Amino acid sequence: MKTIMLVLEAGLRDLARNKWIAAYAFGFAVITEGLFWFGGTGPQVALSLLNVVLMVVPLVALVFGTIHVYASREFVELLLAQPVARRDLFIGQFLGLALPLAGAFAVGAGIPFAWHAGAGTGGGALLALFTAGVALSVAFAAIATWIALRTDDRLKGVGLALGVWLLTTVVYDGLVLAASAAFAEYPLERPLLALMAGNPVDLARVLVLTQLDISALMGYTGALFERTFGTSIGTSVAVVTLVAWCAAPLALAARRFARRDF
Amino acid sequence: MITAQALRKRFGALDVLRDVSLDVRGGAVTALVGPNGSGKTTFIKIVLGLARADSGTLAVNGAAADAAGQYRRHIGYMPQAAHFPQNLRVRDVLELVRALRQGEATDEALVSAFNLAAEMNKLVGTLSGGTRQKLNAAIAFLFRPSLLILDEPTAGLDPIASGILKDKIRQVRGEGRSVLITSHILTELQELADDVAFLCDGELRFAGSVAALLARTGERSLEPAIAALMRTERARRVAPVESAPVAWIPAVERI
């Protein structure tokens, strides 16, 4: 535990002074305040911000995370040469990446909402929006860590990270749509729900939209999700599945870190 | 001290270490030398626990090298190039390693000798390569380890800092501690080394004192002696390649 806390503290100190993390937080603050500035009400701002979160948070977590893990490799080797356990070092390093990413989003987007006292956005919707942003930060930081630990070639690693971003934010929905059109004659409810659970970005979208109660914007899978589970159970299912999306790549990355040769 | 027995390591189809058995004795500086790709770095990484041997045993100061890594309390490691997080201050880096190895006796001599006190509040990213290397050296010697592993230790250091580091290595040897050093600057090894371990193609081809190596090769200093070992190895590798295809041609009786 001591090693985890020490490595985490060093990671937080390093990224707290990182200009890209500061720019990321500042960017979210400007976008959120801008949405308020253009006359949006709280729920409208939350909805517009959601679309930014779904695209930007995975992109930054994947690309920044991959580059950060590659850049830390030699320092990790130096720390591994000390009498520390690999597992503790991994946890400290990962938290030192994921917490600043999640924190930059939460602080950047949170300050304008706090300034406007929520502007009529329901507590549930706000909580869902920030839970979604934090969960996406952690899940995609874990995927980035796994990619960087699996691939020694830095260029290939960053390319893979961008590929995951394209797949989850753009291609996946297209594939689901194509599948639902191709098999329109069949009962697709269950397969489509399973497909939605296969993409953390879709889960985050549904988690927030069920709280904002805007079924028209949920898309087919979102509406289906709410109809199948209802709002409260649906929210719980989305949160649990998002947590699984954080845990699974993290477990894979931890396993890789424990076994790999540096 | 390091006691390595029959270490083997394979990366894919490549045998990087083949049954390497080596004793690094206390109170001596052992130079680990060999051509590029001979397995020096892999051997060091296995000793440090950064890579795992496929088979063989390893002990440092009598403690088995295991996954828990507590045997690394005996080791100080100076990698070839120092890469610390760019936004940490020198003070943060030193405090981190001190906290990780809390309770161990410290030796601040290099921190003072390199005048790192003046750099404490600077971000690592703003330091010159030489100053980062001084920090790297100070960390390696900080906990009075009984085994020091130094990978190209003087690379990037100015002559004064290089001299300070070499004096420190001699002092450590005088205290009965072990030093395993790799360097491509053979004149530097000539100054420091008592023993030589020569790796080639993952095999340990020579292990013994510098005097024994000079006697074997008939050379007067380490540089030509190592060069002679390398030439011998090259000739051994090249010979079958040159003669084998020619011997298959019936008309050719000699070359």
CATH of the domain at B184: 3.40.50.300
Tokens of B145: 């380890």
Domain extents for chain A? Answer: 2-259
Does some domain include residue B222? Answer: yes
What pLDDT is attached to residue B36?
A: 86
Model pLDDT, residue B248:
47
Range 10-39 of A in CB contact (< 8 A) with B: 10-11, 13-18
Which residue from A13, A14, A77 is facing B79, i.e. has the nearest CB?
A: A77
Q: What is the mean pLDDT of residues A16-27?
A: 95
Q: Domain for residue B189, yes or no?
A: yes
Count A/B contacts: CB-CB distance under 8 Å: 76
Residue A123 has pLDDT above 80, yes or no: no
Paired strand residues for B64: B59
Per-residue confidence band for B223, with pLDDT thresholds at 50, 70 and 90: confident
Contact B88 A3 (CB under 8 A): no
> What is the number of domains present in chain B?
1
Burial B16-49 (b: 16+ CB within 10 A, else e): bbbebebebeeebbbbbbbbeebbbbbbbbbbbb
Residue B87: its pLDDT value, please?
A: 94
Contact B72 A82 (CB under 8 A): yes
Which of A2, A75, A97, A260 would best serve as a mutation to test chain B binding (most B beta carbons within 10 A)?
Answer: A75
d(CA B39, CA B200): 7
Q: What does pTM read for this prediction? A: 0.86
Interface contact A77, partner B, CB < 8 A: yes
- How confident is the model at residue A140, as a pLDDT? 97
Residue B73 maps to a domain: yes
Residue B252 lies in a domain: no
End-to-end, the C-alpha distance of chain B in Å comes to 50
Model confidence at B239: pLDDT above 70:
no
Would B126 be classed as within a structural domain? no
- With contacts defined as CB-CB under 8 Å, which chain A residues touch B139? 78
* Interface confidence (ipTM) of the complex: 0.82
Residue in B79, B87, B139 closest to A74 by CB: B79
Asked if A15 and B96 come within 8 Å (Cβ–Cβ), the reply is no
Q: Which of A17, A71, A83 sits opposite B70 (nearest CB)?
A: A83
Domain membership of residue B219 as a residue range: 2-83+146-243
Q: What is the pLDDT of residue B64?
A: 82
Q: Report if residue B250 sits inside a domain.
A: no
At B78, the pLDDT band (50, 70, 90 cuts) reads very high
Q: How far apart are CA A209 and CA A202, in angstroms?
A: 11
User: What local confidence, expressed as pLDDT, does residue B37 receive?
Assistant: 86
Does the distance separating the beta carbons of B83 and A74 come in below 8 Å? yes
The mean of the pLDDT values for chain A is 89
* DSSP element (H, E) containing B197: strand B195-200
Is the model's pLDDT at B247 over the cut of 60?
A: no
In a domain, B128, yes or no: no
| Of residues A194, A207, A192, the one with CA closest to residue A243 | A207
Is the pLDDT score of B251 beyond 70?
A: no
The per-residue pLDDT for range B89-114, each reduced to its tens digit, is 999 999 999 999 887 778 889 999 99
| Cβ contact, residue pair B75, A75, below 8 Å | no
Residue B134 belongs to a domain:
no
pLDDT averaged over every residue in chain B: 88
Q: If you measure CA to CA, which chain A residue comes closest to B77?
A: A81
